[in-house]
Chains A and B, each alone.
Chain A
């Protein structure tokens, strides 16, 4: 049992979570997303400045929400990568300052693994082994989780855009705004998902040989762009629903294929895109017919947050993983297999 404070600053959310072993005590998020809306994407320097401005307040609020004093904390966990380097550095430096002041261990952890670890909060079920579909603004991959703290194998990943990125770009093309995921999700609710048959990337037999569990969304994006250009009075809802269906269909088809091939009957879907309604709905249907147990964290814990970082820190402690050394390097391109920094 340990009280772990987790810090997340890899993109535009300054977030701090506190967990007591598997129990969620606090989850405070300050987002600079409003400052990025006009750019249609996150601006690193704007995000980094916002992190510095928000950091102390967010830590203090998390302590208040958890009704604990900073001195009660047993360990600090922080996202050390992947992410925007300037943004990561604010979190890592804050965490280092706290750990040294408190003389408590520091765990630099992987942002992507943390998205999966959040499943463990307030949940006593065994997570592993599982196939994980990790879908966010920056990443889309299928992982085999033998042990989340120590043994993660990449089965496949996107070869171009991440799923969330595709949502952002299509939303921009349709003039919906940023971030695109929730906006397309909302539009799609009123649309016909079979209206337009957009391509499913890397599902042709030849592609499947080389890219069995990989994704590609750039062709889909071009197809949507072409459709929009050629269809003067297109219906936004139908385009959104049809585009979303093309993304979600491929994500789930390939994830379940990975379950089947590896003989693992548990699928966990994590990352910001896991908040998408259609993804959740279709995953539920298909997992039921495939007799695969489906795990999706609550929607509010799917987007970037500090609780997931604390959850992974807590998991690492329980698995007996050594704490990180003083002076860890934030790594903007850390692979998902690097779960806890040495």
Chain B
């Protein structure tokens, strides 16, 4: 004898089901990617009118957009704590795949930023673990895809999966937070002529023909500290990143933020960007501009997160065929 309250908030839909010994007493969903927090308690309150006792709370643990995902998980855990019962976490993609009768297929949900959360299933069993990929790359696999919109995690499947196997105890985030704790020992300091041998070496690797020369760096340094600010990040005595900003009149211009390949995605570039912005604020700049190579998708979300907006494109800026995207952030 068991009554399961099933919840999923891993997609743009909030869904709740009540399953008593395999019989579905309640199954409702509401589509709104920004309202999980409001909708979930209301749906659960409706479901609770149909029963006096819940034995288990089953919840989709993702993958899914973080904010909505956490609503379902923390609600389920707290409900279980309040009711003195157990909760069981299941993979939301499994609950989406449960009703699809194909030999080999992919289910995918919206991960935003033009990316998809997905997992591949063969004969009803998860074949590859949940991952996040660009939509275009997913299509290249040539496997039939069942997408969020046409399909959603089925809360009844969540209830059944929760009863049979409750192996997922942590949220399936896949992505790391955009911010990373900086690696231990990273030091930020002013960039000087002593960094130039390393910096020019990094430039050649990162930018190829568009690399700056030693002379170009020196020209920039000469404007500091009044009109320019160049910072270096070093790790174990080695130059791993640097950034520079120039300011005259009203608008500050970030001239470079460069992180060596090995040390990307660690928060070093973010910290440099923040320090550049802080400096521009101290200088009372009205705005900050920067140019970014078209296709430099790694850095773009970071810039956008800090309020930079694309204002134009400049063709052949970095050499023939290399277009620059110009972005601007208002400070006033």
Contact = CB atoms under 8 A, between A and B. Distances in A.
Contacts of A43: 177, 179
Contacts of A51: 70, 74
A101 B79 CA distance: 5
Interface string A321-342: 0000011111000000000000
A43 to B, nearest CB: 4
B81 A38 contact: no
Interface stretch (B21-29, B35-43, B98-106): B35-43
Q: Which 10 A-B pairs have the closest CB atoms?
A: A101-B82, A97-B78, A97-B79, A45-B177, A96-B41, A101-B83, A97-B75, A94-B78, A43-B179, A327-B42
A89 interface: yes
A89 B70 contact: yes
Interface residues of B, number: 40
B74 A327 contact: no
Contacts of A49: 66, 171, 173, 177
27 contacts: A38-B181, A38-B182, A39-B274, A45-B177, A45-B178, A46-B177, A48-B67, A48-B70, A49-B177, A55-B74, A55-B77, A93-B40, A94-B74, A94-B75, A96-B75, A97-B75, A97-B76, A97-B82, A98-B79, A98-B82, A99-B82, A100-B45, A101-B80, A222-B282, A225-B282, A327-B42, A330-B37
Contacts of B181: 35, 38-39, 46
Interface string A53-93: 00110011000000000110000000000000110011011
B81 A93 contact: no
A90 B74 contact: yes
Contacts of A112: none
Given A326-B41, A330-B37, A97 B77 contact: yes
A326 B104 CA distance: 42
Contacts of A60: 81
Interface string B172-196: 0100011101100000000000000
Interface of A: 35, 38-40, 43, 45-46, 48-49, 51-52, 55-56, 59-60, 70-71, 85-86, 89-90, 92-102, 222, 225, 229, 326-330
A45 B177 CA distance: 6
B43 to A, nearest CB: 9
B98 to A, nearest CB: 25
A328 B38 contact: yes
Contacts of B271: 38-39
B307 interface: no
Contacts of A92: 37
B41 A100 contact: yes
Given A97-B75, A326-B45, A86 B177 contact: no
B174 to A, nearest CB: 13
A329 B282 CA distance: 37
B77 to A, nearest CB: 5
Given A93-B40, A327-B38, A330-B37, A86 B48 contact: no
Given A93-B75, A98-B81, A100-B41, 9 more contacts: A38-B271, A39-B181, A86-B67, A89-B67, A93-B37, A93-B74, A98-B82, A225-B282, A329-B37
Contacts of B72: 93
A243 to B, nearest CB: 15
Query: Binding site of B, secondary structure by majority: helix, strand, loop or mixed?
Result: helix
Nearest to A7: B78
B44 interface: yes
Contacts of B37: 89, 92-93, 327, 329-330
B71 interface: yes
Interface in B280-303: 282, 284
Contacts of A71: 84
Contact of B81 (A59, A86, A328, A330): A59
B73 interface: yes
Given A70-B84, A328-B38, A330-B37, A100 B74 contact: no
Nearest to A104: B82
A90 B40 CA distance: 13
B84 to A, nearest CB: 7
Contacts of A38: 181-182, 267, 271
A98 B41 CA distance: 10
